Structure 1
Amino acid sequence: MIRPFRFGVVAPLLSDVPTWLDQVQRFADSGYSTLLMPDVPRWQPAPAPTLAMAAARTNLRVGTWVYASPLRPAWSAAWEAHSMSVLTQGRFEMGIGTGRPGIEDELRDLGLPVSSPSGRLARVRETVTALRDLDGPDGHTPVVMAVRGPKAQALALEVADTVTIASFASDTRAAVAGMARDLGTVRDVELALHVPVVGDRVAPFMASARDTDPAALREADSLAVLPDDPAAAAEEVQRRREEVGYSYFVLGADSADVLAPMVAELAGQ
């Protein structure tokens, strides 16, 4: 099935609140479907109240990109996600994964227990199970899972509505596309692609990541980069949907205005 395009923006609150709200409204007016918030403690306000404020001001869907499972107890995360779903009248998407590279150091700094990768994945399952219990038979909070290894992929195919490959910027197009296509052959799940680099712009919350040099990514034909010309970017995202199955594209806030003409052309098609 060819899914219609939708576009999300990862927009951490890094300015004063009025400026950020103006930016969020601009995204909504440009045709973006979803406002997303990273889960980075002490870097910005917590995701849930920030997203709730944005949802009250716009008609955007909102979501986490993504909860790091070891940062909060499973039931607490599920309760927060269910509450957001209720308060936004079904416009919340719970993105969840096992945490960024280096999450162990962050957990130690916060005084939280450091669990194994399998333990962190088990908490993802516990969180989704608790969320489904809270949603009840008449509710369904969409779950977006960030995955990489085979065990995480298997869980995503079991419980997620949308799946994104937690790729490294240096991963080749073929490697990431292969993992995504494999998921699509097992179940008709929405495939999301995070694109942290547009032209020479690197999304602010990804700026410290390794291997995000724009020139190197273009040379490698990486899926982590798009051209900053809207017409060329439109051609490329259509290619990625046709060849791989990606229909949900997630950009950084600093690139959202640049590619707004592409979004206006393709959103919903």
Structure 2
Amino acid sequence: MTRPFRFGVVTPVSTDVAAWRDDVRRVADAGFDTVLVPDVPQWQPSPTALLATAAALADVRVGSWVHATPFRPAWELAWEAHSLTVVTEGRFELGIGTGRPGLEDELASYGMPAVPAGERLDRARETVARLRELDGPSVHTPVVMAVRGPRARALAAEVADTVTIASFATDTRADVVALARSVLDVRDVEIALHVPVVGDEVAPFMASARETDPVALREADSLLVLPGDPAAAVEELLRRREELGATYAVVGLHSVDRLAPVVAELAGR
């Protein structure tokens, strides 16, 4: 069965909360499905507070993009996730991953111990298990996992509803296709793609320095970039669905207006 497209927008608090509320409404009015917020304390308020507020502001799904497991005990993150599912009446999805660049230094700055890679995956598994216990038989909080290595992909294929591949600028299209297919060969899950560059515009909250050269990304046929022309973006997204089953595109706030025609044509299709 071919999955329909949906679209999410990473919507950080870039200036002030009043402007952020306007951004949430603009994302919803443009037809995007999901308002997402990053989990970086230096950037903004807690994701839990922001996501509950976003769900009250607009009729959209909300989610974290993504929680890093070393920062919270499994029971705490599971409790927060289940609570958001309850207060949003089922419109929350938990994004979870094992870390991000500079994680060890960030943990040290908070006086927290380093967490080995294997333990990070164990914590992700425990978080999902505890979340399922809290949800019970009548509730299901969707889990989005950001993965790359074989153990992480195996876990995601086992417990996640949506999987996004943690891609590098050096990855070819064939590389990402192979990684996504290794998950789909185990179980049919939704495949999401993190797209920090649209045309020549880079989402500052979604891309590291190595991902910010649009020309180089296009020359490499990278999946981290979409064409700026809406018709070309539609064609490329259809190609990505055919090649690697990707149907959930996550972009930056800067791309909302440019991609609104794409969303109008493809969302739910």
TM-score above 0.5: yes
Q: How far 1:113 moved relative to its partner?
A: 1.0
Q: Deviations over 1:164-203 (max 9, x none)?
A: 0011122111101111122112211000011011111111
Q: How far 1:209 moved relative to its partner?
A: 3.5
CA distance in 2, matches of 1:186, 1:57: 38
Q: Deviations over 1:131-166 (max 9, x none)?
A: 111111111100000000000011111110000001
- 2:192 aligned partner, one-letter code: A
Q: Deviations over 1:182-238 (max 9, x none)?
A: 211221100001101111111111344323211100000000000111111011001
Aligned residue for 1:147? 147
Q: Deviations over 1:89-134 (max 9, x none)?
A: 0000000000112211111111111011001111101111111111
Contact 2:157 2:184 in 1 (8 A): no
Kindly indicate whether residue 71 of structure 2 is the aligned counterpart of residue 97 of structure 1. Answer: no
CA distance in 2, matches of 1:226, 1:240: 11
- 2:55 aligned partner, one-letter code: A
Q: Deviations over 1:48-84 (max 9, x none)?
A: 1011101001011000000000011110000000000
CA distance in 2, matches of 1:172, 1:108: 34
Q: 1:141-180 maps to which residues of 2 (within 5 A)?
A: 141-180=141-180
Specify every segment of 5 or more residues in structure 2 that has no aligned partner in the other structure, as ranges: none
Contact 2:98 2:120 in 1 (8 A): yes
Contact 1:10 1:65 in 2 (8 A): yes
Aligned residue for 1:23? 23
CA distance in 1, matches of 2:206, 2:132: 31
CA distance in 2, matches of 1:153, 1:181: 10
Aligned residue for 1:87? 87
Specify every segment of 5 or more residues in structure 1 that has no aligned partner in the other structure, as ranges: none
Do the aligned partners of residues 208 and 64 (structure 1) sit closer, same or farther apart at CA in structure 2, a change above 3 Å counting?
same
4+ residue runs over 4 A deviation: none
CA distance in 2, matches of 1:87, 1:222: 38
SS in 2 for 1:192: strand
Report the TM-score, using the length of structure 2 for normalisation: 0.98
Aligned residue for 2:249? 249
Contact 1:170 1:212 in 2 (8 A): no
How many residues end up aligned between the 2 structures? 269
Q: 1:58-207 maps to which residues of 2 (within 5 A)?
A: 58-207=58-207
Report the TM-score, using the length of structure 1 for normalisation: 0.98
Aligned-residue Cα RMSD (Å) equals: 1.0
SS in 2 for 1:206: coil
SS in 2 for 1:155: helix
Identity of aligned residues (%): 68
- 1:85 aligned partner, one-letter code: T
